[in-house]
């Protein structure tokens, strides 16, 4: 059984989706970690009976206390689900190809620092793109930079979409494809 920590900064709908839709025979989610003490994911975790841990953004910048916690919890891999802090180099080095992120656009476009949530969707709409989507990728030391594991697309209607309209289509892709990508990752990296 692979022990996977989920890192989330916000509402936590992707975290809940992963917990509910990844095969429990392959993976367990012993903890949800956040950098936001007021994150909605904390309520979701309580409802799902998953332990939580809150670290400050400073803790994530320095990395050592987070890495020590992951070791104590015997964490084998990490999934980012709307996590906004940059992953420190010490975690990337300790978990090579064992950290995945989901990004609400087709990287390498519309990625990088500050490109999350509605900011991504607004940028896609402002650019006049006809297609957007999601990218599930391995995490390295840069924002939204690691090698992609998979991408999925949806149409954009720049003449009538709001960022909320596009976000709804993107969320549908996230909920559908992230659990599938995690199963692929478990096979490729952990041999399950």
pLDDT of residue 192: 73
- Taken in order 83, 4, 72, 50, is the CA torsion positive or negative? positive
CA atoms within 13 A on the CB side of 133: 18
User: What is the band of 24 on the pLDDT scale with cuts at 50, 70, 90?
Assistant: confident
Which of 3-12, 17-26, 143-152 is predicted with the least confidence, judged by mean pLDDT?
17-26
- CB-count exposure of residue 27 (10 Å: 0-12, 13-18, 19+): buried
| Residues designated as active site | 103
Q: pLDDT tens digits, residue range 51-65?
A: 999 999 999 999 999
pLDDT(122) > 80: yes
CA angle 165, 171, 175 (to 5 degrees): 155
Q: pLDDT tens digits, residue range 28-45?
A: 999 999 999 999 999 999
pLDDT of residue 191: 84
pLDDT of residue 79: 98
The mean pLDDT value for 160-174 works out to: 96
The mean pLDDT value for 130-141 works out to: 96
Mean per-residue pLDDT over the chain, rounded: 95
Q: pLDDT tens digits, residue range 63-98?
A: 999 999 999 999 999 999 999 988 999 999 999 999
Helix, strand, coil proportions of the chain in percent (round to 5)? 40, 20, 40
Q: pLDDT tens digits, residue range 171-182?
A: 999 999 999 999
pLDDT(183) > 80: yes
The mean pLDDT value for 88-112 works out to: 95
pLDDT of residue 129: 95
Q: Which helix (H) or strand (E) holds 90?
A: helix 89-94
The C-alpha atoms of residue 39 and residue 42 are separated, in whole angstroms, by 6
The mean pLDDT value for 136-163 works out to: 94
């Amino acid at each position: 059984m692979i022990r996977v920590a989920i890192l989330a900064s916000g509402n936590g709908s992707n975290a809940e989706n992963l917990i509910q839709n990844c095969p429990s025979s392959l993976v367990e989610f012993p903890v949800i970690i956040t950098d936001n003490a007021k994150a909605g994911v904390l309520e979701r975790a309580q409802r799902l009976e998953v332990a939580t841990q809150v670290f400050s953004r400073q803790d994530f910048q320095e990395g050592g206390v987070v890495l020590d916690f992951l070791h104590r919890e015997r964490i084998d891999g990490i999934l980012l689900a709307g996590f906004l802090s940059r992953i420190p180099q010490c975690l990337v080095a300790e978990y090579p190809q064992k950290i995945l992120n989901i990004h609400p656009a087709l990287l390498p476009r519309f990625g990088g620092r500050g490109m999350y949530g509605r900011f991504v969707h607004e940028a896609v709409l402002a650019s006049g793109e006809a297609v957007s989507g999601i990218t599930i990728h391995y995490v390295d030391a840069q924002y939204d930079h690691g090698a992609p594991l998979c991408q999925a697309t949806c149409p954009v209607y720049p003449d009538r979409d709001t960022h909320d309209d596009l976000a709804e289509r993107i969320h549908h892709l996230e909920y559908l494809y992230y659990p599938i990508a995690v199963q692929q990752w478990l096979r490729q990296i952990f041999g399950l």
